[in-house]
Structure 1
Amino acid sequence: MRHRCKVPLLGLPADQRKALLRGLTTHLLREGEITTTKARAKAVRSTADKIITLAKDGSLSARRKALAYVYDKDLVNDVFAKAQERYGSRNGGYTRLIRTKSRRGDNSEMAILQLI
């Protein structure tokens, strides 16, 4: 029974799921867009929005929280430097989810996740 369980499990144990989300979030912040399954994209969207919200805050504690989650230290510095001018007037919704055609091998729904 999964009533009121908000965490998307993605068919993985907790440690592997957290590592996957950290890796996909890092790649999204570095490249600006990723192509992955729709379920993974929806899970990454919330973590990426939280990192960008921390970057808009810009305080030392917010920077340390972001460094604890994102794998690349230089990437965190870049995100914190550019977040205020890029997302200063936005109150959320920093990502865009575009559905694409299904994957050929297993017919899973694919999506492109982009930073706005």
Structure 2
Amino acid sequence: MNLLLVSVGGMLGAICRYVLGIAIMSKFPTPPFPIAMLIVNVLGSLGLGVFYGSYYGGIPLGAYEESVFLLVAIGFFGAFTTFSTFSMETVQLYQKSAWKPLLAYISLSIVGSITMFVFGFSITK
């Protein structure tokens, strides 16, 4: 049952990431850095913070057997956000020697994601 919950959440998260990414790329066809994944990862961090704050009121330890945690936190947000794509796009910018966009992308992705998680968590807990 746990694998099914993670799978369903992951499927929904991946679909949402894809649809949102396509929508963002249609609005910004030639951004200076990968803005679609930046927005997806920052929004995903906000959403995960909101989930933890509103559902748990804290960051749970050992919730890996809870259905809602598996579906939402691991499945949906695990598939919605993507560190692997962030890593690949970072390497692409590095290979192009695009130093300013590289620094902006790394900084905004990491600081933005953490900040939005904390924000989402604090406004809902």
Q: TM-score range by the shorter chain?
A: 0.3 to 0.5
TM-score calculated relative to the size of structure 1? 0.36
Structure ranking higher on relative contact order (CA contacts 8 Å, 6+ apart)? 2
Greater per-residue helix proportion: 2
Compare CA radii of gyration and give the structure with the larger one: 2
Where is the strand percentage greater, Structure 1 or Structure 2?
1
TM-score (norm 2): 0.34
